[in-house]
Amino acid sequence: GIHATMCWETFQSKLDAPQMVEFFKFIDVDPDDAKGLFKLLDLDGSGGLTAEEFLNGAIRLRGNAKSLDVALLIQEVKKIEKHLV
């Protein structure tokens, strides 16, 4: 498998690349939501995306942008729950 990770700075620097533009179109997410998307795709909270996290996230989020909003909300609720317990 591919074990390289991509940090936020690298992800951000690639946002204008044709492949990334197509990726955002494919998952129907506004590039302005890139930071939230990155955090959401970073399943292990490491601050970096593995190829597996990136691809699984793309498949999971394909649909309308509201899917991203719901997924971000779920993530935030889980964080809040951890602090309350």
Per the CB < 8 A criterion, the answer to whether 6 and 47 are in contact is no
Q: What is the DSSP string of 3-69?
A: --EEEHHHHHHTTTSHHHHHHHHHHT--GGGHHHHHHHH-TT-SSEEEHHHHHHHHHHH-S-HHHHH
pLDDT digits (tens, 9 = 90+) for 15-59: 999 988 988 888 778 899 999 999 988 988 999 998 888 878 877
Confidence tier at 79 by pLDDT (50, 70, 90): confident
Per the CB < 8 A criterion, the answer to whether 41 and 57 are in contact is yes
For the segment 4-14, the average pLDDT, to the nearest whole number, is: 92
Stronger pLDDT, 15 or 4, i.e. the higher one: 15
pTM above 0.75, yes or no: no
